[in-house]
Amino acid sequence: MQPIKWSFSSLKQYINCPNQYYEVRVLKKYETKPTHQMLYGLDVHSALEEYAKSGKDLPHNYKRFAAMVDPLLEIDGERYPEHKMALTEDGSACSFTDKEYWVRGIVDLMIISGDTASIVDYKTGSDKYPDVKQLRLMALMTFAHFPQVNVVKAGLMFILHNNFIPEEYTRDQQDKLWDSFKDDLS
């Protein structure tokens, strides 16, 4: 049997409602139309990507986000905005577009300095129920794609609420990080 390909967002959708997941993602019976909130989130992500990548000024209505993002941009190292990563079922790094990928995701901003990666996921929604499992998955992908990285400092950045939820992972925690997905993937 072919392993199911997944991402963090598809896993969340499946956990929330397996029937909806099956109807939308597998049978493709329904088209998901972007909501106003989704379009806003995409616009914010695009603006922050350009800001981190090239220093392009943020649009006037997003300038308030600079106060949260600027400390990240002061970290020395190589920047990877909107960096796509994927893994095969055995946890090996592969291309995002590889036909054999098992799981994939996009980290909003990653900065690698020596053996440490700083990763952040921008959130434009509520910070009421933060789910750090997305950070765990991004850390696992980072360890696979960047063998020199031994520490991942990660965070969910709820930019509308000026809230940052930090996490830190080390390479020797990989089995424990994968275990946090075991029940969801079985």
Kindly report, residue by residue over 35-58, the tens digit of the pLDDT. Answer: 889 899 999 999 999 999 988 899
Strand stretches in 14-141, DSSP E: 78-87, 93-94, 103-113, 116-123
Model confidence, pTM: 0.88
| Helix (H), strand (E), coil (C) string for 110-175 | EEEECCEEEEEEEECCCCCCCCCHHHHHHHHHHHHHCCCCCEEEEEEEECCCCEEEEEEEEHHHHH
- Those residues whose C-beta lies under 8 Å from the C-beta of residue 142, and which sit 6 or more positions away, are 85, 107, 110, 117, 119, 149, 152
pLDDT class for 182, splitting at 50, 70, 90?
confident
* Span 103-130, pLDDT tens digits: 999 999 999 999 999 999 999 999 888 8
CA atoms of 134 and 162, how far apart (whole Å): 19
